[in-house]
Structure 1
């Protein structure tokens, strides 16, 4: 990678701004964290935030936690008790991200 965009048809090059590069690094770290924990059956939003351990921000870790909880909620074969626990965990996680 040269750090430049390259037009496929006219071959014109222009520099990539740092903002665009930093955004992609942030998204990469979020996805990397998601891949690390996606197979765990953690139901606690705060536990997932602790596992992030500063790799990503608390807000992004909360976003990953909600994504995992929604994914687990869609899984088939859940009993009513498990579904209720996931719904409650998702509600609490969404509530904690809304602030006071």
Structure 2
């Protein structure tokens, strides 16, 4: 990895996520708000308000939420002001439509 790529990767690790990315990652992974709150050690109200754009939590809380989602199998990709969510197919819950579809593909 070049110095520029390393600097970009390090910068991406420091970027917080937004509520929409959080909700998207959580939905793709099939994680409930209750489960994510337990893993991120935050209140359900904080997470709900964050995902719905009602408030922006302190950076430390957003970092814990992001870390919990990454531990569960999500990755976040940053391109300027854009954020993309990637999910490891092996970690997707079969409780979601995405998980069931991915499971069907692997069976075929």
TM-score bin, normalised by smaller chain: under 0.3
More strand by share: 2
Larger radius of gyration: 1
* TM-score, structure 2 as length reference: 0.25
